[in-house]
Amino acid sequence: MGICRVGIGLMILALCLCRPVYGVEFARLPEELAISEAITLEERGSLEITEQAGYFRFPDEKQGSLTTQLDYGLTDRQEIDLDVPVMFAKPAGEGWRAGPGDLEIGFRYGVIDYRTHPLALDVGLGFSVPTGSNSRDLGKGRWTVAPSLTVSRWIGSINAQVNLEWRHALGSNGNDSANDFEYNLALVYPTRRGFMVLEGNGESNEEKLFYITPEMIWQPSEHTSLLLATPIGVTHNAGGVNFVAKVSVEIEGLSGAD
């Protein structure tokens, strides 16, 4: 865990010290990434609706999810988020089971606006509501609070983003750890009609999980996007090749502001 913290600190320091190349279009970044929280925020009065499907094959269990995600811009630098998941699980030797996962509500604030600065920073605070069931492997089934931060920096034509989240449980839930720490690094390269992205995703709790996640994002129009990704497990308990897909649609002008 100490090595992970040192590595994360060095990544953030490198982002802050690297000299960016100016003249790039700072605002052109993806609204969604496969696993990491993107630096982007919705503009005032804009609502983004994302439908996400995920499939992960662990050594002792298969897990799937269908999640509806709503992101709404209160202002250009303040956003509220709501995630409503349906979970699927198939433990080894058993049949599939399905049910609601844990509802997640969050707030994010852009401390340094990514639209106007090559170095950007946002902070967030999220809460999980125990609508899932830990005993059925359909979420954790407990209240949690999760502060987070995301830092991004343009380095030439590549945007590097580091996302960190600490999730703390407000109650006991069997043998599960009370603290989960997630750390993500994303390298984003804009293309003509989308983005090519490479993520590194880690999670430390009672187990250590790490993935390398290549992904492609296609934007057929200004307000729609399609993401396809294949998280590849590096640690044994992260499984093998997994799958994440997202379809996003953005609706503007809901606040009535000009």
pTM, to two decimals: 0.86
Q: Report long-range pairs for 24-27 (Cβ below 8 Å, ≥24 apart).
A: 24/118, 24/154, 24/156, 24/157, 25/190, 26/114, 26/115, 26/116, 26/117, 26/118, 26/120, 26/154, 27/114, 27/115
Residue spans of the domains in the chain: they are 2-251
pLDDT digits (tens, 9 = 90+) for 94-135: 999 999 999 999 999 999 999 888 999 999 999 999 999 988
For residue 70, give Cα distances in angstroms to 79, 117, 226.
Answer: 10, 26, 16
pLDDT digits (tens, 9 = 90+) for 44-84: 999 999 999 999 999 889 999 999 999 999 999 999 999 99
What tokens appear for 35 in the block? 């696993």
Per-residue pLDDT band at 22 (split at 50, 70, 90) = very low
Residue position matching structure tokens 């009065």: 45
Within 13 Å, how many C-alpha atoms sit on residue 206's CB side? 6
Do 157 and 189 form a contact (C-beta atoms < 8 A)? Answer: yes
CA-angle at 9, arms to 4 and 175, nearest 5°: 35
- The predicted pLDDT at position 177 comes to 78
Is domain 2-251 annotated with CATH 2.40.160.40?
yes
pLDDT digits (tens, 9 = 90+) for 138-158: 988 899 999 999 999 999 899
Q: Tell me whether residue 234 is exposed, middle or buried, using C-beta atoms within 10 angstroms of its C-beta: 0 to 12, 13 to 18, 19 or more.
A: middle
